[in-house]
Amino acid sequence: MKKEKQKQGVIDKQDLTIIENSEAYELKEKLIEYSKEVGIDVIGFSDVKPFLFLETELKRREELGWSSGLTKGSIEERTNPLLSMENAKSFVSIGVSYPRQTELPKQDKEDPFVQFCRSSWGMDYHDIVGKKLQLLEDWLKEHISGIEVIGSVDTGVFNDRAVALRSGIGFSGKNSSIINETFGSYIYLGELLVSYEFPPDTPIERLCGTCDRCVRACPTKAIQPDGSLNEKRCLSYVTQSKEYLAPELYEKISKNVYGCDICQEVCPFNREVDFHLHAEMEPTGAEFPKISELLTMTNKEFKSKYGHLAGSWRGVSVLKRNAMFNAGFYKYKAALPEIAKIRDGQGPDWLKEAAKQAYERLDNK
């Protein structure tokens, strides 16, 4: 019967599926090759089923009061891609590596510098990854008529890590980072939600085993033994928050004025990782500001000098708050007069309360 249909030029559903799958595999391979040409280091594909495990975890965090509140959208919007695109068929997830090491300035105890975390080195990664996603989107629209595409880097409703995990970019470490076999966890993530069905890749199971170095190293105990995360205790959140937090959390701010790298630094999978593949991600020096400078800057001055960094998005007041506690870490008592001005000034209550604590901490050292 099948031979008879073929003679008559009729293609049955099974044959049509085979043809469509063949086209999808071919397009996938071509897109992978193109991604390499535009500087994307790793790419993966997944389906768009609801992220049920993520939904459970996010609801748990909310119930426990662990949610940072910095994410966009409701839990339903963040875990069900079809609410963003009704006819979505696939995610295209990408990873772009960033450096682990650089030559630091010479520290001066009389006028110490502090650091932005590595994900704020060089130009703002949202722009870098966003431009690469735009190139992929343009390619898709050129090769697939009528395709719908939604791109996202960190600030959208999609959970970059959940999408990357499902797409086989890497496995999820106990510190919640996506760890790639080549680039470790030093990769920026982004994704495209598309209305074309690509063959999905296979997720990678967690490879941490009994290792709990990140759990033990976390200064605020934000990382739980089971690998879940109390976002509100994570120093990445603490150094971005615009509210007065528990004093004990501020006491853990050390050399970083923005973000935290400790759980990545202690991870064995990052031990030999240090890729310098993208010049725009190399630090230029702005990533290591002086405490004295930060404490006296206006927001306009700050944006002019540091506005290209990912870590600048919360404005100068947040970084002044952090710099006050950096001063305590370095026992930099020359900062006391400026901290007093902030404490007694016209700033928001959360900033003045933090200044009060920072002043007392530093004055007693």
Cα 263–46–29 angle (5° rounding)?
110
**Considering the domain boundaries, does residue 11 fall inside one?**
no
pLDDT band, very low/low/confident/very high, at 342 (cuts 50, 70, 90): very high
The answer to whether the predicted template modeling score (pTM) of the entire model surpasses 0.85 is: yes
Residue 65 falls inside a structural domain: yes
Domain extent at residue 255: 38-363
Say whether pLDDT at 344 is over 90: yes
Q: Is 102 exposed, middle or buried (0-12, 13-18, 19+ CB in 10 A)?
A: middle
Query: What's the whole-number mean pLDDT along residues 342-356?
Result: 96
* Domain annotation covers residue 72: yes
Give the Cα separation of 114 and 257 in Å (integer): 6
The predicted model gives 293-305 an average pLDDT of 96
Please state the domain count of the chain: 1
pLDDT computed for residue 21 by the predictor: 80
Look at residue 21 and tell me if it is in a domain: no
Burial (CB count within 10 angstroms: exposed 0-12, middle 13-18, buried 19+), residue 194: buried
Q: What is the pLDDT of residues 165-174, one digit of tens each?
A: 999 999 999 9
What's residue 184's pLDDT?
98
Out of 41, 124, 154, 261, pick the active-site residue: 154
Count other C-beta atoms under 10 Å from residue 52's C-beta: 10
Residue at 33 is within a domain: no
Q: Which residues pair with 42 in a beta bridge?
A: 95
Residue 13 resides in a domain: no
- The answer to whether residue 26 is domain-embedded is no
Asked, for residue 333, whether it belongs to a domain, the answer is: yes
154 an active-site residue?
yes
- Summarize the confidence of residues 341-350 as an average pLDDT: 96
